[in-house]
């Protein structure tokens, strides 16, 4: 009634040596470098050069090469940029903690604190009843 399968299974045809494999640590390095590079872009857009230099050092350490830096301005409101930077620093903190990268974790936590303080200062400076950078 049924004809027997004459070809090998597709699951056993591939040789594992034919595909590049990365360790969990390498994958986390790539992910952390990506989050920090995104944080660097927002930090540079905010004009925070000293903080940007510190973030760039960590990206260079993880990637083995200095990151490309450019002023890709989005014309976003400062409050929106600070919120974006805070979220990116939070993501970087999570990955840094999971890979036990103390230097990157401390830097990420410091950036979160700095953006929280900047948001509070912007809120204090805004006229009462007005949300800064709200959509």
The answer to whether residue 134 sits within a structural domain is no
The answer to whether residue 94 sits within a structural domain is yes
**Per-residue pLDDT at 22:** 86
3-class SS at 6?
Answer: coil
Which CATH number does the domain housing residue 91 bear? 1.20.1260.10
The answer to whether residue 60 sits within a structural domain is yes
The answer to whether residue 87 sits within a structural domain is yes
Please write the tens of the pLDDT for every residue from 16-50.
566 678 888 999 999 999 999 999 999 999 999 99
Counting the structural domains of the chain, the total is 1
Rounded Cα–Cα distance for residues 130 and 44 (Å): 27
The answer to whether residue 74 sits within a structural domain is yes
Helix ranges (H only) for 64-126 are 78-98, 102-125
Q: Are 115 and 89 in contact (CB under 8 A)?
A: yes
The answer to whether residue 133 sits within a structural domain is no
Please write the tens of the pLDDT for every residue from 75-122.
899 999 999 999 999 999 999 999 999 999 999 999 999 999 999 999
- Global pTM reads 0.79
Rounded Cα–Cα distance for residues 92 and 69 (Å): 18
Q: Are 59 and 92 in contact (CB under 8 A)?
A: no
How many separate helices (H) and strands (E) can be counted in the chain?
5, 0
Rounded Cα–Cα distance for residues 14 and 28 (Å): 26
**Per-residue pLDDT at 127:** 72
- Tokens, residue 13: 């045809």
Domain of residue 32 covers: 24-125
**Per-residue pLDDT at 75:** 85
The answer to whether residue 14 sits within a structural domain is no
């Amino acid at each position: 009634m049924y004809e027997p399968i004459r070809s090998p299974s597709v699951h056993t045809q591939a040789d594992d040596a034919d595909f590049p494999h990365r360790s969990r640590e390498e994958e986390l390095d790539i992910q952390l470098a990506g989050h920090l590079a995104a944080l660097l872009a927002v930090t540079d857009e905010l004009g925070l050069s000293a903080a940007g230099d510190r973030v760039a050092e960590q990206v260079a350490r993880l990637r083995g090469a200095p990151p490309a830096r450019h002023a890709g301005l989005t014309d976003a409101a400062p409050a929106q940029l600070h919120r974006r930077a805070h979220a990116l620093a939070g993501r970087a903190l999570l990955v840094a903690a999971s890979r036990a990268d103390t230097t990157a974790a401390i830097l990420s936590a410091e950036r979160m604190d700095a953006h929280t303080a900047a948001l509070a200062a912007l809120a204090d400076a805004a006229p009462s009843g007005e949300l800064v950078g709200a959509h």
